[in-house]
Structure 1
Amino acid sequence: MTTGRQTTISPIALRGGLIVLFVVGQAATPPGFGLSGDGLAVTGLTLAVAAALVSAILLPAREAGSPGPVFLGIPLKIAALCLSAIASIALIETTDAGGPAIAALLFTVGAAAARHPLSRSSPVGIVALAGLLLAGAAGGDMQRDLSLCFSVCVAFLITYSIAQRRATRKAEAREAVLAERARIAREIHDILAHSLSAQIVHLEGARLLLRADRTQDALERVERARELAKNGLEEARRAVSALREDLPPLPVALRALADEFRTATGRDCAVLVSGAERRLPPETELAMIRTAQEAITNVRRHAPGSPASVRLGFHDGACELEVSNPAAEAPGTPGGGYGLVGMRERAELLGGTLDAGETDDGFRVRLRVPA
């Protein structure tokens, strides 16, 4: 019975397997292992390469002064890689066919480039190139050793470039995590800071009114604070939901806000969308949804009995949101909510603009962001 689990080979097991494969391959390559002559030299050099690779690749390392068990410091690991390169070159010159030894040399250079910065890995490459040139000059087969020098350079450069790309991706991932944390902190701050500060004002006013025996006025202040707390809790829940789940498309989210407005007020809230609809970056969509939510909530609070109108326009390189309402006959509730200051700050962070103010027949909030 299959459980759906995927089995993976650990990097240590893979590297250890490659070292074992090198030893087995070298033993099968003429003249092979022996106790005298070339066989003894091949045996000693093979074990030297294997031991150096085990020390440099498999054993844990630590920087000087850092906590943890002491195995090999970084300088000793670089020295072990240099020893592996020298022993591999000696094997190439000793054996008739240097296949496993050549693979060990390229593996050594690649491991140095992949595991260490350029200042530490370059000595291994230099030792390998110098050893090949000296061996070619001494053995008279300069053409083969020059081709090996080229292979060493290619292996070093390719492995180093791959390591740099991985480091860049990790750095970008860390930056993305930090940016996401900042966005979440700003989102929660915008909701709670404004809501709680307004509640404190009303509760402080209620306390003073109670001391003056103005019970009815104090009760009105408490009810306003309660309404602010309720609205702040709803907004916080929406924010957490938006941060944990994928945001719906902008038109869908705006129509949902319009439906809530109609249900709560019994007044119309038209949603008009123009231009070719497309998805925007999550932070941009969230800012536009929050702006529409605040603007529609302000219509309910400050213009009771007034209908609302929402317009969303997709333009080349920009997206524009406009929420407007005619003037109301009855006065609304002062204060409350995020306030337009937070929306303006959010727009500026995205490189956009937010304009809000009275018009000839009512009030309008307009947000324009690059997209």
Structure 2
Amino acid sequence: MKILSFMNIERASALVTWLFVSSSALYYAFSQYGVSSHRPWLIVAAAVGLALCFSVVTRRDTSLPSWRIPLLIVMYLLAVGSLLLLPYSYLAIYLVVWSALLPYYLGWRKCLAVSVLAALPLGVIHTFYWQDPYAWLTAALFWTFNLFAMMMSNVAIKEKSAREKSEALNRQLTSAQQLIHQAGRQDERLRIARNIHDVLGHHLTALTIHLQVASHKAKGAGEDEVKTHVDQCHSLAKLLLSDVREAVSDIRENAPLDWQQAVRALFKDLPRPSLQLSIADNVSIEDVTTADILLRCVQESLTNTIKHTQSAQLQVTLDKSEKGYSLTLQDEQVPTAKTIQLGNGLTGMSERIEEAGGSVKFSFNKHGFFTHVLLPEPV
């Protein structure tokens, strides 16, 4: 089932339509049939029922998922019932609003078939019950309205899906660029370290050997003063060689990737959820593949949080132990489901982690959906 994501203005426009249709119908119903008649009061009940069903069916969160399809059916029955209670053909506008909801729950081909069924009650009821000679023409006109409403909803769904995919890809590209840039800097540091070690280290080693030879020759020639200066140069050369080796080791060992920066790039300009990031002091990621796997886990969790919940924040915690890197992901949506169904995203996450020799666990807790990733350090 596709999850509705109505903007407030769209829901408001539908409720304004409901208000005008319902208020005008009630005005004419009470004027025509009087307060003592049951018809106006049944219309009141139908109008209120339609509003309540609409408010639940179009909720932006994932609450009451099992109620939405039954309530959508109830909306249809109430709309058809209103056509039986009053002879006003414009009450079919209820069915137009109902038709606009169908693409969020049915495929487009099914919507086309249902659109015909949605228009039939108006023609049948007004022809045989209200004796309207133009009922089928009116029904055909309202069918075009239903079809137009479905098409506009379908276009809105596709545009929203395309926009979300584009934004997700842009965030993924931005975070990947962060890692690539840092990996490039890391490679440059290693290249410089190798050059220092291979070139400068080689020359200093040769200089040390030549100074040692010069010291021996000066000693054999009885040049004590020269030997003293040569020994001093020899000591300085050995000290400089030691410093160079220490600097090279420092460059090699202290080139971690800024994983935090890449994670924050995923959440940039998102209205929700906000990022609650906690990285232990002992965490240092130097392997690009490891950083990318952990980053993709955060990305998939973020995508699921946006798509399936209304959570205001996502907690990301990264720690390190003897077993490797421990990544936990926690949203704040109180779970309504009891079982976990692994979609393509979570399945891909599991496969990626298992290929790297790690493990992942998905579960629901009292706060929401919880993911724990354990990834060993690369050998």
- TM-score, normalized by the shorter chain, greater than 0.5: no
TM category (shorter chain) comes to: 0.3 to 0.5
User: Which structure ranks higher in relative contact order (CA pairs < 8 Å, sequence separation ≥ 6)?
Assistant: 2
Structure 1-normalised TM-score?
0.45
